[in-house]
Chain A
Amino acid sequence: MAKVSMTVNGKAVTGDVEPRTLLVQFLRENLRLTGTHVGCDTSQCGACVVHIDGVAAKSCTALAVQCEGQSITTIEGLASDGKLHPMQEAFRERHGLQCGYCTPGMIMAALDIVRRRGNELDEHTIRDQLDGNICRCTGYHNIVKAIEAGARAMAK
């Protein structure tokens, strides 16, 4: 077993884990933060996207011990004071989901697009940058609309 400590959604956490424990397992099973999903476990689908030190990453393809000392943000860390984050609100308003399985990863990836590309995003950029996130339900149309609107709302 190895000791690991990191900051998750602003709180310091520690745990005893086997080195082979994936970050997503640590989040879901040790911390019970089940908003981060596992869709494929093969680094393809993006359902597991979280931010590691502010940068989007697939948490099924990182070890918990690799994140020693780092700061993790999951979907649970976005809302504040009972109010949804503007990107979450945009997904709700624009109906950017059906079953919701891909949604946490989509939102975390969307925030990374805003970080890299700013608040004014066109459809082509959004679709291109969602390359690593798969949705089996929506056909992406409303996801793209939601991200466009959410990115704008974040500028306010």
Chain B
Amino acid sequence: MYNFTFHRPTTVRQAAGLLARNPEGKLLAGGHSLLPVMKQRLAQPSALVDLSQVEGLTGVELKGRSVVIGAMTRHADVANSEILKEVLPGLASTPGSIGDPQVRNRGTLGGSIANNDPNADYPAACLGLGATIITNKRRIAADDFFQGMFTTALEEGEIIVKVSFPIAKKAAYEKFKHPASGFALVGVFVSKRGPDIRVAVTGAGSNGVFRVKSFEEALAKRFSPKSIEGLTIPTSGMNSDIHATPEYRAHLVGVLARRALAKATA
């Protein structure tokens, strides 16, 4: 790991100031994506701005017809949130499937979506529920936030403060876990909130998380696994690596979407 200076602000404003003064600096949340990359010397931030002492960045809160989760809320705390398990169990189960218990004890919502790993779970939940990402500067719809693998709409020095998830009556996540890494080989999040139907896929696309419009249209008539029986998605744009072929990934999208629909409508 290259060396860096270390800062521990206590407010979002201070954190933003530190980033402005250290243009090569980076935010540090749970460190479970950033530190491994720094160990490999694939990243060389001149400064780390640790968000752990910043007030007001943690917690799961019910606000009207949405659940608002602080950026620094750990995966384990989201998974175990009693409020969330009650009003939006499909979302609670998503961080519960991340990595292993030790990873879930450290990793955070904000870190995960800022990183936007193409195999990460939270991006599917954000896009699959039509969440709003709230930063220190603006509100960004999930549809605009995720812009390809490891790429987001975040600007230089922009800090995610919280994420607002609308409460969908029906929502579920199904993931085919890579047995070694725990990441999603493919993961599908489905939801229905009134007329708004979403099917979001992580792990499969070579350009990160995406929505499956053909499935969504088919589900508009009836939100049920039967509605997408026999539907397939094209293999172009599917990721290909030693773990799975594009054909296999495309196949898994259909299988997992049907399983998620069965779970959401059970």
Contact = CB atoms under 8 A, between A and B. Distances in A.
Nearest to B3: A20
A147 interface: no
Nearest to A112: B101
Interface residues of B, number: 25
Contacts of B218: none
A116 B101 CA distance: 10
Most chain-A Cβ atoms within 10 A of its Cβ — which of B4, B28, B38, B106?
A: B106
A132 B31 contact: no
B102 A58 contact: yes
Contacts of B35: 43, 61-63
A132 B31 CA distance: 16
B39 A63 contact: no
Interface in A42-97: 42-43, 46, 49, 55-58, 61-63, 65-66, 68
Interface in B1-53: 1-6, 8, 28, 31-32, 35-36, 38-39, 48, 50, 52
B32 A19 contact: no
Contact of B8 (A20, A43, A46, A68): A68
A113 B6 contact: no
B244 to A, nearest CB: 20
A66 to B, nearest CB: 6
A93 to B, nearest CB: 25
A105 to B, nearest CB: 9
Given A61-B32, A63-B31, A66-B28, A131 B101 contact: yes
Contact of A61 (B48, B50, B106): B106
Given A20-B3, A61-B35, A132 B102 contact: yes
Contacts of A113: 101
Nearest to A67: B52
B225 interface: no
A135 interface: no
Nearest to B182: A131
Interface residues of A, number: 27
B4 A19 contact: yes
B103 interface: yes
A57 B101 CA distance: 8
A43 to B, nearest CB: 6
A143 interface: no
B232 interface: no
B245 interface: no
B171 to A, nearest CB: 23
Nearest to A131: B100
Nearest to A65: B6
A43 B28 contact: no
B179 to A, nearest CB: 10
A41 B101 contact: no
B166 interface: no
Nearest to A43: B36
B101 A62 contact: no
Contacts of A43: 32, 35-36, 103
B52 A56 contact: no
A19 B5 contact: yes
A58 B103 CA distance: 8
Interface in A110-149: 112-113, 116, 129, 131-133
A6 B216 CA distance: 52
Nearest to A20: B1
Given A19-B5, A42-B39, 9 more contacts: A2-B6, A20-B1, A20-B2, A42-B36, A43-B32, A63-B6, A66-B28, A131-B100, A132-B99
Interface of A: 2, 18-20, 41-43, 46, 49, 55-58, 61-63, 65-66, 68, 109, 112-113, 116, 129, 131-133
10 contacts: A19-B3, A19-B4, A58-B103, A63-B31, A112-B105, A131-B99, A131-B101, A132-B99, A132-B100, A133-B100
The 3 lowest CB-CB distance pairs between A and B, nearest first, are: A132-B100, A19-B6, A131-B100
